[in-house]
Amino acid sequence: MTDHFSQLTAKDFTTDQDIRWCPGCGDYSILANVQRVMPDLGIPRENFVFVSGIGCSSRFPYYMNTYGMHTIHGRAPAFATGVKASRPDLSVWVVTGDGDGLSIGGNHMLHTIRRNIDIQILLFNNRVYGLTKGQYSPTSQIGMYTTSSPDGSIDYPIDPLAFALGAGATFVARAIDVDGAHLQQLLRRAHDHPGTAMIEILQNCPVYNDNEWAEVEDRKSRIDAALVLEDGEPLVYGSEDHRRGISLHDGIARVIELKRGQDPIEAGVAVHNERYQTPAYAFALASLRRPDFPLPIGVFRAVETATYDALLQGQVAGAIVKRGAGSLHDLLHSGDTWTVEEP
């Protein structure tokens, strides 16, 4: 490999294709931040593969000047699995939406995550089907009025992170489309994580579901609405005047109001730890719901365990050590054979 990548910039990751998103779409900010992070990852451009399904979000690969596959609806994780399992040297990124990844594609998401294959999954959650013009999605709030739910949706939403943790995810995180610095940080963390790293990116769709995430997108209200997770730090949020913390017992979360200057840990506030072996702690965080609780942002869980691709390569290598590199001649002649001589 050449090391020309050291001089790459975000611009090198831009294609000449006209971008087909609506003005104001959150996808623009995500794209810009992904393009900004790529050059820092120490990987030659030709070793990146972006894989997507179908949806507005899934147009992403067309705008990334890397290798890319814009596939079929819901199946991106399965394609990505094939890419990574056959070529662990590649850096493989899945871009998907709440419909693509969690409606038709929920099963591939589930199994990809549980296998812990070493890819990054960016789930753009705008809580709506953008490309097909505004039907409710599996993350839409109950009661949402859309073209397909004129009387209000009656489907309870899935939380993408609770779902991922239910599948045993080793890395889950949540980011906000417009908070570029934080998003970039999580993208780097996801890349560094060995195993499936899933980031839910809260994304605004100004056309079909405007302001769905306004509370946390807005810098002001974010202070009270979001809980920024920092490894080793107590679960504290809110402005200086109104600091609060979260305690967790028996999986039950409570908000603890903190007095000015009070030590949160002494007050019973839990301390964030990304590396608990059990996913139960991260699941408790993922179960926090507005408006009673703040929305946690950041890395919920990051535990290391062997990846599917490494185990697979290991079996191949191990088999060669144990049995020797395969010989087709020997294979064909294995077991019982008999020879008919020239008459």
Partner 1 sequence: MSTMSRKAPGKTVQQVESVAIRFTGDSGDGMQLTGTKFTESTAIAGNELSTLPDYPAEIRAPVGTLAGVSGFQIHFSSRSVRTPADHPDVLVAFNPAALRANIDDVRPSGMVIVNSDAFTSQSLKRAGYAEDPRPSLRDRYTMVEIPLTRLNREALKDLDINMRDADRCKNFFALGLMYWLYHRPMESTERWLESRFKGNVLEANLRVLRAGYAFGETTELLPVSYIVPKAKIQPGTYRNITGNKALAWGIVAAGEQMNTDVFLGAYPITPASEVLHEVARYRHFGVKTFQAEDEIAAICAAIGASFAGELGVTTTSGPGFVLKQEALGLAVMTELPLVVIDIQRAGPSTGMPTKIEQADLMLALYGRNSDCPVPVIAAQSPGDCFYTVIEAFAWAVKYMTPVVVLSNGHLANSSEPWRIPDVETLPRPKVEYWKDAENFLPYRRDPATLARPWAIPGTPGLEHRIGGLAKLNGTGNVSYDPRNNEEMIRLRAEKVARIASEIPPIEIDGPESGELLILGWGGTYGAIAAAVETARQNGKPVSRIHLRHLNPFPKNLGSILRSFDKVLVPELNEGQLVRLLRAEFMVPAIGMNKVRGQPFLIEELLARIDELLGEEVSP
Ligand X SMILES: Cc1ncc(C[n+]2csc(CCOP(=O)(O)OP(=O)(O)O)c2C)c(N)n1
Residues that bind ligand X (CB under 6 A): 54-57, 73, 97-100, 124, 126, 128-132, 137
C-alpha span between 180 and 288 (Å, rounded)? 24
CB-wise, 76 or 284, nearer to ligand SF4? 76
Which among partner 1, a copy of itself, ligand SF4, none contacts residue 156 (Cβ within 5 to 8 A by kind)? a copy of itself
Report whether 190 contacts 199 (CB < 8 A).
yes
CB-wise, 130 or 138, nearer to ligand SF4? 130
- Residue 118's closest CA among 92, 156, 82, 145? 92
Report whether 92 contacts 169 (CB < 8 A).
no
Residue 298 neighbours by CB under 8 Å, 6+ apart? 173, 174, 182, 186, 228, 229, 230
C-alpha span between 290 and 272 (Å, rounded)? 19
C-alpha span between 297 and 182 (Å, rounded)? 9
Site string for ligand SF4, 43-72 (x = CB under 6 A): -------------x----------------
- Minimum Å distance from CB 76 to partner 1? 8
- Residue 186's closest CA among 123, 243, 100? 123
Answer positive or negative: Cα dihedral of 25, 134, 290, 172: negative
CB-wise, 22 or 228, nearer to ligand SF4? 22
Residue showing tokens 């996808």:
27
- Minimum Å distance from CB 238 to ligand X? 32
Choices 21-29, 234-242, 273-281, 331-339 (CB under 6 A): range interacting with ligand SF4: 21-29
- Residue 66's closest CA among 36, 91, 85? 91
CB-wise, 89 or 241, nearer to partner 1? 89
Which residues from 99-138 bind ligand SF4, rule CB under 6 A?
A: 126, 130
Q: Terminal CA-to-CA distance of the chain, rounded, Å?
A: 58
- Minimum Å distance from CB 185 to partner 1? 26
336 binds partner 1 (CB under 8 A): yes
Report whether 119 contacts 92 (CB < 8 A).
yes
**Phi then psi dihedrals of residue 336, to 5 deg:** -80, 125
**Looking at the chain, how many residues does it have?**
343
128 binds a copy of itself (CB under 8 A): no
C-alpha span between 280 and 269 (Å, rounded)? 17
CB-wise, 124 or 300, nearer to ligand SF4? 124
126 binds Mg ion (CB under 5 A): yes
Q: Which of 8, 41, 207, 311 binds partner 1 (CB under 8 A)?
A: 207
Report whether 172 contacts 161 (CB < 8 A).
yes
Which among partner 1, Mg ion, a copy of itself, none contacts residue 97 (Cβ within 5 to 8 A by kind)? Mg ion
Choices 46-54, 56-64, 217-225, 309-317 (CB under 8 A): range interacting with a copy of itself: 309-317
Task: Give residues in contact with ligand SF4 (CB under 6 A).
Answer: 21-22, 25, 27, 56, 126, 130, 205-208
Task: Give residues in contact with Mg ion (CB under 5 A).
Answer: 97-99, 126
Task: Give residues in contact with a copy of itself (CB under 8 A).
Answer: 103-107, 110-111, 114-116, 138, 151-152, 154-159, 162-168, 248-253, 270, 273, 276, 278-284, 287, 305, 308, 311-312, 315, 318-319
